[in-house]
């Protein structure tokens, strides 16, 4: 399912991104605007994190924070049972800046990404590829299972392949949030090198996100826009 539309999305849809940015720019510092533009220029839309059935709120929050910090725009969450919830103190507000997409069915989530030309890989021990050699010349999504059972067989079967995170000690697995951080940081770095750019958002998507992030930076923004734009 696509991200749920909220009040900011609806006002952007009604008035257009240009009008939102023009109206709100006068209420923001030049430094804040420059920061938004810098982060947008570094955003990757072609690397996606997927987590399945993650019920530990601290791990969930750390996954959100990691996804945003390394410049990924999407986090796909498969929720066959308990709803994905995050500890607010750990996310530090990072959830506002990414697109969180929720799914009940792992196959639907994976097929939706494949339809967008993503290759989707399951994280598995003993996988034929690692984060160091998996192909990053095309858009790539990586699926991580929950803290105890790992990925479901259904999710694994729907993926295009599998990869692992190299380990060199006696410990047989990392904590979920650590695995996400290690794997996605390395894959994002390799993808940026492969495309020769730190970011790759399409112009229209970047333009709309800019309007959204402007709106997120102004307090009581919906009443302000209603008064200003009608």
Name the stretches of the chain with pLDDT < 70. 1-5, 55, 81-94, 147, 172
Please, which contacts does 219-228 make with residues 24 or more away whose CB atoms are closer than 8 Å?
A: 221/8, 221/24, 222/7, 222/8, 222/11, 224/23, 224/24, 224/27, 225/11, 225/15, 225/20, 225/23, 225/24, 226/11, 228/23
Quick one: 32 and 55 in the same domain?
Answer: no
Quick one: 51 and 30 in the same domain?
Answer: no
Quick one: 32 and 113 in the same domain?
Answer: no
Rounded CA separation 66/78 (Å): 18
| 112-152 pLDDT per residue, tens | 999 999 999 999 988 999 999 999 999 999 999 986 778 99
Rounded CA separation 19/41 (Å): 21
**Whole-angstrom distance between the N-terminal and C-terminal Cα of the chain?**
31
Q: What torsion, rounded to 10 degrees, do the Cα atoms 31, 32, 34, 37 define?
A: 170
Mapped onto helix, strand or coil, the DSSP state of residue 99 is strand
CA distances to 62, 66, 105, 180 from 85, rounded to whole Å, are 11, 15, 17, 17
Q: Which domain holds residue 94?
A: 44-200
Q: What's the Rg (C-alpha) of the chain?
A: 18
The encoded tokens of residue 206 equal 């970047």
Q: What is the DSSP letter of 97?
A: G
Quick one: 190 and 94 in the same domain?
Answer: yes
pTM: 0.89
Quick one: 89 and 181 in the same domain?
Answer: yes
Rounded CA separation 101/80 (Å): 14
* pLDDT for residue 83: 59
Instruction: Work out the number of other CB atoms within 10 angstroms of the CB of residue 47.
Output: 25
Total number of domains constituting the chain = 2
Quick one: 196 and 228 in the same domain?
Answer: no
Helical packing angle, 7-15 and 221-229, nearest 10°: 20
Quick one: 130 and 226 in the same domain?
Answer: no
Quick one: 116 and 164 in the same domain?
Answer: yes
Quick one: 57 and 162 in the same domain?
Answer: yes
Q: What is the CATH number of the domain that holds 61?
A: 3.40.1280.10
- The answer to whether the beta carbons of residues 121 and 178 sit under 8 Å apart is no
Quick one: 161 and 103 in the same domain?
Answer: yes
Quick one: 74 and 180 in the same domain?
Answer: yes
Quick one: 60 and 167 in the same domain?
Answer: yes
């Amino acid at each position: 399912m696509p991200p749920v539309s909220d009040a900011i999305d609806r006002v952007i849809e009604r008035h257009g991104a240009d009008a939102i940015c023009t109206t709100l720019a006068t209420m923001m510092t030049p430094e804040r605007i420059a920061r938004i533009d810098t982060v947008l220029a570094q955003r990757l839309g072609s690397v996606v994190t997927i987590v399945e059935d993650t019920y530990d709120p601290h791990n969930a929050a750390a996954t959100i924070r990691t996804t945003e910090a390394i410049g990924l725009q999407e986090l796909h969450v498969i929720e066959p049972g308990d709803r994905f919830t995050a500890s607010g103190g750990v996310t530090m507000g990072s959830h506002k800046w990414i697109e969180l997409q929720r799914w009940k069915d792992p196959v639907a989530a994976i097929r939706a990404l494949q339809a967008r030309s993503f290759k989707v890989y399951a994280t598995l021990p003993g996988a034929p590829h690692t984060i160091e050699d998996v192909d990053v010349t095309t858009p790539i999504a990586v699926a991580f299972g929950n803290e105890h059972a790992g990925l479901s067989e259904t999710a694994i079967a729907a993926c295009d392949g599998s990869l692992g995170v190299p380990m060199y000690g006696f410990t047989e697995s990392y904590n979920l949030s650590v695995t996400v951080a290690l794997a996605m940081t390395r894959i994002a770095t390799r993808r940026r090198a492969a495309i020769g750019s730190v970011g790759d958002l399409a112009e229209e998507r970047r333009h709309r996100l800019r309007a959204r992030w402007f709106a997120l930076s102004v307090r009581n923004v919906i009443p302000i826009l209603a008064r200003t734009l009608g």
